[in-house]
Structure 1
Amino acid sequence: MEKEGMLNKTVKVEGRTLRTIFLLIQAILAYKFIPLKHGGQKAVHVALLGIAMVIGAPGIYAIFKFQKETRTSRGMYSLHSWLGLSTIILFIFQWVIGLCVFLYPRLPDKRRAIFLPRHKIAGLFIYGIAIFTAVTGFTEKLLLFEVRGLNQFGAEAMLVNATAVITILFGMFVVLSALLP
């Protein structure tokens, strides 16, 4: 596949990744910034996480399909690959457990109160892994493009690096916003 076609595919995958992370951000901050009663905030939180899962699933399929078509890798060969798969598995597990504990069947309030801080910390941990996975993905693609002739000081390289730095800074802002009163 030519370099321009590969760059276009990468931009699409990164766009899907950033949309998914954006939805995770909205879900994390739903309880702080959405002016609804608790039940409404909970519904928004669950819905945004569900939408993030729906958007993310075809992205994973596209990545494996792209790698197979271009023969760019042999599968799960990098830290980015392993982090990505771990993030998805942990995210799905956290979402299902959250549904079971907080929505259906409802546990007694005392048990939910015990589980809630753990749910919040686990969610922020998974979000942190998602941010780290995105940054390792940006770096991995940039290195791949450099091997194939991309100017390491060109506009594309600067855009990828700037996106990675902004992703890290914004991720830190979200975690602090979620933790601070």
Structure 2
Amino acid sequence: MELTQAIRERRTVRQFASTPIPKALLVEVVDLACWAPSAGGQQGYRFVVAAGSARNEIQARVAASLPQIRHLVEAEFAHDPALAEEVVTFHEAFGGAPVLVLAFAGHDAEGGPEVLSVSAAIQNLLLAAHQAGLGTAWTGFATFNTEIATIVGMAGRPLIGIIPIGYPLSTPTPRPRAEGRVQWLGF
């Protein structure tokens, strides 16, 4: 698959088959994620790839925190209450994805370069997974839960995203691209 095709065709997937993903395929996808640029070349981000009981433990912690984050989701998607409910419901089981990839910034990052670096790596992960025939969704509403970082050995590192990954049950249609997002000067 060409890069242009991967960028244009990748979609957020919210329903996954329970089919296990070969570890070798996950290793390749995560390796490509780690080739993203990072601020100062520091590569301070870390990924935790969880399947089986480890995945289920993380899922249980996220599901238990949903009452605390519901208001955040509803505020973010106030323009579309149905979408807000879809996002909350998705966090209950992450669409049945067999694997969760947790993306952490460097220790005590409050924003800035560390968050930008891990965000670039997540984008690589999303594209690499799509190229490999896998679906993903970059979720962020459960990231305030410091308990998750502790149970996976990443205490002190901000959790920037949880990315469910698996074989998609369906491929969503693309949303129209918004106009007026680029300003050209001097051309």
Say whether the fold is shared (TM-score over 0.5): no
**Which of structures 1 and 2 has the larger relative contact order (alpha carbons within 8 angstroms, sep 6+)?**
2
Of the two, which has the highest radius of gyration?
1
- The structure whose residues are more often helix, as a share, is 1
Q: TM-score, normalised by structure 1?
A: 0.30
Higher strand fraction: Structure 1 or Structure 2? 2
